[in-house]
Amino acid sequence: MRRIYNTNTILLIIIALLVILLVFKNTTNYVVAQGDGNAGHVFGVVGERQNNRQPFYLVDTNEETVMVYEYFQGGGLGLVAARSYKYDKKLKEHGRPYGLSVEEVRAEVIKEQAK
């Protein structure tokens, strides 16, 4: 029986993949792959080659984790970073604000709906 994901998790994954694609859209060395069968919850993105390094991004939606690997020409594959986004997705916002905050947008929407 397949686990049903909540809408926020699915949307976060789609947004993350679109951001990664946007970052690498001008490169010819990117590929997006999705596993099949039991691996349907795993997505991979190959990034732009930099000198002798090739980054590979892996997203596991079951474990709610993003992992970054690098392939070193002649040196193999190594884990560079990993992070669970389980709690990140519960944040309303984080980092430097670009434009309106979440609360400011919410107040504007409520104000418009009241008209």
Give the residue extent of every domain in the chain. Answer: 7-114
User: What's the token pair of residue 79?
Assistant: 């884990």
Instruction: Using pLDDT thresholds of 50, 70 and 90, give the confidence band for residue 25.
Output: low
CA distance 74 to 91: 41
Q: Which of 52, 75, 76, 78 is nearest to 67 (CA)?
A: 78
Burial class for 71, CB neighbours closer than 10 Å (0-12, 13-18, 19+): middle
Residue 46's CB is within 10 A of a number of other CB atoms, namely 18
pTM of the model: 0.53
**Where is pLDDT greater, at 97 or 112?**
112
CA distance 57 to 45: 5
pLDDT given at position 3: 52
pLDDT tens figures, 47-94:
888 888 888 888 888 889 999 999 887 778 899 999 998 888 888 887
Average pLDDT estimate for 21-36: 54
pLDDT given at position 15: 77
Alpha helices in 1-115 (DSSP H): 7-24, 102-114
